[in-house]
Structure 1
Amino acid sequence: MKATVSLARAGSYDGHELLERMRACLAPLGGMAAFVRPGQRVLLKPNLLGAFHPDRAVTTHPSVLAAAITLAQECGGVVTVIDSPGTGSLASVARATGIDAVVRAAGATLGDETAVETFETPGNIIGRKLTLLKAVADADVLITLPKLKTHVQMTFTGAVKNQLGLVPGVQKGQYHFRLQNRLRLAELLLDINRTAKPALAIMDAVYGMEGNGPSGGEPRFIGALIASADLMALDVAACDLVGIDSSVVPTVQAGIQHRFGTTALDHISIAGEPLDALRVQGFRTVAHLKHVMRILPFPQFMLDWFGRHWAPRPRIDAACCVHCGACHRGCPVDPPAIDPEMPPARQVNDHTCIRCYCCHEFCPAKAILLRRSLADRIGRFTASLDWLTTRIPGI
């Protein structure tokens, strides 16, 4: 049976209009009542990466959360909202993003991101035991509310990746340091989803982010809400909507390898608005080393060396830096590989930097630039790989 992904046109974040658009989006899936029963404890998981204004399109818009709360409460659900932001406390980020006001107005509860619990899932790939927010264990139903965005490390961030916010703050950085590989991080994301078991995803794609997301890109009007009980299918459809090749997205690659979710568009049934009716033209994606590297006749350790030495380097833009320290605090390396208080030539330690781009992700001022390496500028390695991808089928 095909996975169902539902699309609804949503032209603005107007509260009443968006509520009815979300209701229409969920109708082909059986409505919110198909996922929430009276008296159930419902955990809503928006994307609250950091203290960004909603207009920046970094975080799930408060109107999307408000609509989800209303629909869950209409079904008799008792709602808690949770996330573990990349920087800052949940309370401070919720205030800055407008989420706190929505939670208070709806009579819902803002969860405790400091309470954790260890979960054991025998079929996991990376971690049989995972420490996640305790709110997951306390909930009867988990509904995730991702934002459609590009991602400088993972190409695309959507429904599957949104559950990384269930990992307590400091541990996210530890995983970056431990794994240091996009596919391994993607496998971790599958593990988190297997453990947390989200029942439904409703994606905020009214405005998404193009360019160097998940925080340094630019808002882009898309005009859609997207929902599915199959999170991987939702991500595949969302990628197609904006012209991202889902086959280069690490979470989709991991899904194919480990048979997690629906990873092929022809195995997905689109309900509501057709994809062609909402398709976005000219959506700017992330420029990165494509996986054409796998055709090179070198062992994996050499490919890893190439990737490390040709990967873009973080650099601090002195004209934009506000010296908030978010990059320094968010770096998973110990000691941190980036420090804006150092002299310019020593602000980034290229030898210890693992190219996870957490600093770029967490910076509220767009002050972290991703500069091509000297080797790449001289050898034009990235340009050559990109040229090959357009001429070799199946890459």
Structure 2
Amino acid sequence: MTLSWLSIVRLGLVQMALGSIVVLTTSTLNRLMVVELALPAVLPGLLVALHYGIQISRPNWGFLSDTGGNRTRWILGGMAMLGAGGMLAAFGVVALEDSFEMGLGLSVLAYALIGVGVGASGTSLLALLATATEPRRRPAAAMITWLMMIAGIAVTAGLVGAALDPYSPALLLEIVAVVCLGAFVLSFLATWGVERGLAPAPATEKRMPFREGLAEIWSEPKARAFTIFVFLSMCAYFMQELILEPYAGLVFDFTPGQSTQLSGAQNGGVFVGMLAVGILATGFGIGALRDWVVAGCLGSAAALLAIGAIGQLGAALLLPATIALGVFNGMFAVAAIGSMMALAGEGRSAREGTRMGLWGAAQAIAAGFGGLAGAALVDLLRLGMEAGPAFGIVFAGEACLFVGAAIMASRIMEGRKVTRPRAPNIGTEGVGDV
């Protein structure tokens, strides 16, 4: 028994909820630390790197969900920890205004909880999708779930940005509480009964040690090569995550609400890029996933060069360049995720969660390293030059990484076109139909 289209959409709601919490920590809270509290960009960079670094445990979460026979409990448990971490992170920012030590301690604990929550919930969710989705539907499932996640990020960033002006600590705590509680409730409702009818993992899988299971996956040439590609491309993808909003605030004098809305516009562009690939590649069979990955990487590089160059030209061009970056990011991301979903089911069976965990860990390490490197480089360059050129150099370096990722993708990914799935028949087949 496999997932119906309705069940896939329901699981996409979990991705939407996850993204709505994470975007607060990587954009809004990050900007408040750097601009309003005048802290070095490397501080939120280290905190975000911590939450990504903890996600090196993703293969273990995937292995546990492979052998435990119930992925839903890991999804919901992870979302509970993520919500608690998001709320605690907001308290940490407020505490930083009065006591650096207290605020830093709360923030470290918060971002650790966020890392554990994202690792447990995100990996188990992807494993459930990879295991229970028909192979012909996997690219479409990847598109649907990630479009919903980006929609959650974009909508949350836009609404929070509008609601946060004029900024006050009390208002921040109120907004974050609403987002975190709403995200957990939505996840609970979305996963209720979805696994009903799916067979549990064989009991023999429970006795295999985690290291042995991971070693089996690493010995697969495709899985190993794709892990390296994920690391390089995600380094490029995440380098701007912690510096785009501070760039808008320091160089263009954007308010907290305006810079959060800029982040929302970028993620709106990501949504458009993902939708374009989903319609053209999955719906009409135009282009192979590899071609979309390469085009997205090269387009992202060009947009980053433009964003860095307009630091001397004015804010009027920042919004369209940022939206363009989002569109090309979305093209790259959904094509790469579609390839990941397809590869997760290849090789030894009952290891989908472990494979997704391995690639998730590579993504998390790259995201933490890339975000921290971008923030640290900006801080170092600003010691000897104005903010505009400093940010511009970092954006140019990120563009070079995207070009390298495009070259690697063209060499290691297959050029097969996506097979068009049959028209959705919502609510009449598979599990989770209620």
TM-score by length of structure 1 reads 0.29
Q: RCO higher in 1 or 2 (8 Å CA, sep ≥ 6)?
A: 2
Whichever structure has more helix as a proportion of its residues is: 2
Whichever structure has more strand as a proportion of its residues is: 1
TM-score by length of structure 2 reads 0.27
